[in-house]
A and B are shown apart, each in its own frame.
Chain A
């Protein structure tokens, strides 16, 4: 989780990613951020997030995104 928070903080240093619950809805993360994030996750976690998983629910909070990474890793 800490590694993910680091990646997120690099994108937007001014955002408290542990507290934010509506990153996509509040337009904190846009499509360009999401793609950068997916590349970093692929690199650091060796988990590829497919296009069908790119939905707001999976990117609205660090917790949701981490859950997605764990799920895809298990699969």
Chain B
């Protein structure tokens, strides 16, 4: 049941209505039932996986917290008798106990993720290495919907409990809802328990403004997904699928189209997710902050898929960077290597691990791994070139000029879009080859000779895309200048926002890229 399918829209309306009709105390249990129903409709076998993760993380979190409490109580009781060394020794012993449970939980759940998602990738590579003449036949595996998202969300929770930052949830059903909350199950965001729980389990009264605001955001998400992203798919698929025919300038067009498609697809999906939650008074973390206004790749990753970025920073980057062996290595490198690089060796090693994991997380294929590592290389190179940039800007005073800011934004968009071509072609050598043709075989006549009308997009499609682009840009510029568009619309007189919502619905229905034999296309991030 995809977000952009008619059954989901019916399911959503029914869920929203029932949510406010039933007694407030029953709201969160109802959401749990609705979430499990949503998952079961996708494939009932998925329930086994999500329930296993829920139960295992719940039990280990309770156990870890029990050890935490036992430690606190013991120290409180024996405060006067224990020396500082004895206290430390006891703390270390209890930490080791908690650590064992945490490791067990991590291995178990990451094991499920690895087996379901990566078995075929590993087998395929082994098959290639041993050069088996027979054709590779993938094993038929069940890959539960959103497994990467709910596994990471659950593991973030157990690590927070281990660190003593989060109290363990005592009610297993409440915890089950945190793991399975249906709007964010398929493509995130990866919520933190402390952020989501307060509004997820609260009782919500029907408030016109909250519901209107949520529905407005849902419609905005559908507009981006159905009118823009799904329209662009046709062009992107044609350009990417025929590598013999479409090279050079066509690759450039495909690159920009895919950048816009992915943006509208992913942010549209997240708008629907956050909008649904908001309509029920539930606050889900924002996942984007105008990423295409970033001036460098580091800033871009602070604004794109924010919840994944902070997850990797908090649970992979920091623990690796500050572990004992890394601190020793850092000390050694600062003493033995040149000053600049000596300080950054461990940071780069941890970044490498993060980007490798990010690549693997996105998909079981080499193109995703190379994509992740390309991000790492660009960030590392720009970090190392920073002193050079600083020297340049000291001599040439253009940093304050408006055009330079625009140049930086365009440069970042082009760079990120080029790296993303690994995601498009899904073949590493082919990506290098095709991106290379942009520099060796760029024919400007492509933009004037009408060939772009032969890629499955008509003049009307281009007109809709152009208007769609202008609308998305305008809304983004409002946000950039601190204007809350939905708030403004809501406060306009004569029910202006309802007229706009009705118009948006008509636009989605009339101009959505449905066509003959329409089959709602998967959200790109649902595959991850």
**Chain B 303-325: CB-based contact to A (< 8 A → 1; otherwise 0):** 00000000001100111011010
Does the CB pair A35–B346 fall under 8 Å? yes
Interface membership of A43, Cβ < 8 A: yes
Measured CB to CB, the closest approach of chain B to A68, in angstroms, equals 13
Stretch at the interface among B13-21, B271-279, B326-334, B441-449: B326-334
Please indicate the chain A residues that have their CB under 8 angstroms from the CB of B314 in the complex: 51, 54
Report if A30 contacts B (CB, 8 A).
Answer: yes
Q: Is the CB of A39 within 8 A of B331?
A: yes
- Which range holds the interface residue count of chain B? 20 to 34
Q: Which residue of A lies closest to B312 (CB)?
A: A31
In Å, the complex CA distance between A22 and B403 comes to 30
In angstroms, Cα B164 to Cα A50, docked, is 12
- Which B residues lie within 8 Å of A39 (CB)? 322, 327, 330-331, 334, 343, 346
The answer on a CB contact under 8 Å between B334 and A35 is: no
User: Which of A31, A48, A50 has the most chain B CB within a 10 Å cutoff?
Assistant: A31
Q: For chain B residues 176-219, which have a beta carbon within 8 Å of chain A?
A: none
Chain A residues with CB under 8 A of B347: 32, 35-36
Q: Is the CB of A38 within 8 A of B321?
A: yes
- Does B165 make an interface contact (CB < 8 A)? yes
What's the minimum C-beta distance from A34 to chain B, rounded to whole angstroms? 8
- The distance in angstroms between the C-alpha atoms of A50 and B88, with both chains bound, is 15
Given A32-B347, A36-B343, do A48 and B327 touch, yes or no (CB 8 Å)?
A: yes
A32–B164 Cα distance when bound, in Å, is 24
Please tell me which one of the listed residues B164, B318, B327 contacts residue A54 in the complex, with CB atoms under 8 A apart. Answer: B318
In the assembled complex, A6 has its CB within 8 A of some CB on chain B: no
Q: Would you call A42 an interface residue if the criterion is a C-beta within 8 Å of the partner chain's C-beta atoms?
A: yes
A25 smallest CB distance to B (angstroms): 13
Q: Decide if A30 touches B298 in the complex (CB within 8 Å).
A: yes
Q: In the assembly, what is the distance between CA of A43 and CA of B351, in Å? A: 21
- B124 contacts the other chain (Cβ, under 8 Å)? no
Q: How far is the CB of A71 from chain B (nearest CB, A)?
A: 14
Say if the beta carbon of B344 comes within 8 Å of chain A: yes
Interfacial chain B residues near A50, Cβ < 8 Å = 322
Cα of A3 to Cα of B476 in the assembled complex, Å: 44
Contacts of A49 in B (CB 8 A): 322
* A26 / chain B contacts, CB cutoff of 8 Å: none
**Cβ contact within 8 Å between B383 and A51:** no
- The tally of residues in A whose CB lies under 8 Å from a CB in B reads 18
Across the two chains, which residue of chain B brings its CB closest to A42? B327
User: Is B163's CB within 8 Å of the partner chain A?
Assistant: yes
Give the complex CA separation of A51 and B165 in angstroms. 11
Measured CA separation A51–B322 after assembly (Å): 7
Q: In the complex, are the beta carbons of A35 and B321 less than 8 A apart?
A: yes
Taking a contact as CB atoms under 8 Å apart, the answer to whether A35 and B318 are in contact is yes
The answer, yes or no, to whether B34 is at the interface (CB within 8 Å) is no
Asked if B350 is at the interface (CB within 8 A of a chain A CB), the reply is: yes
Taking each of B313, B319, B327, which has the highest tally of chain A beta carbons within 10 Å of its own beta carbon?
Answer: B327
Complex Cα gap A34–B343 (Å) = 12
Within 8 A of A (CB), among B372-386: 383
Residue pair B331, A35 in contact (C-beta under 8 Å): no
Contact A52–B164 (Cβ < 8 Å): yes
B286 to chain A, nearest CB (A): 16
Residues 135-184 of B contacting A (Cβ, < 8 Å)? 163-165
Chain A residues with Cβ under 8 A from B88's Cβ?
75
Q: Are B165 and A52 in contact (CB under 8 A)?
A: yes
Tell me which residues across on chain A come within 8 A of B330, comparing CB atoms: 39, 42-43
**With A and B bound together, what is the CA distance between A39 and B325 in angstroms?**
11
Chain A residue nearest to B348 in the complex (CB):
A32
Given A30-B298, A43-B331, verify A48-B318 contact (CB < 8 Å): no
Nearest to A43 among chain B residues (CB) is B331
Further 19 A-B residue pairs, CB within 8 A, beyond A36-B347, A38-B327: A27-B302, A31-B313, A32-B383, A34-B318, A35-B350, A39-B322, A39-B334, A42-B327, A42-B330, A43-B330, A43-B334, A49-B322, A50-B322, A51-B163, A51-B314, A51-B318, A52-B163, A52-B164, A54-B314
5 contacts between A and B (CB under 8 A): A32-B344, A35-B346, A42-B327, A48-B327, A51-B322
Nearest first, the 9 A-B pairs at minimum CB distance are A52-B163, A39-B330, A35-B321, A51-B318, A51-B319, A42-B327, A35-B347, A54-B318, A32-B347
Which of A's residues lie within 8 Å of B, judged by CB? 27, 30-32, 34-36, 38-39, 42-43, 48-52, 54, 75
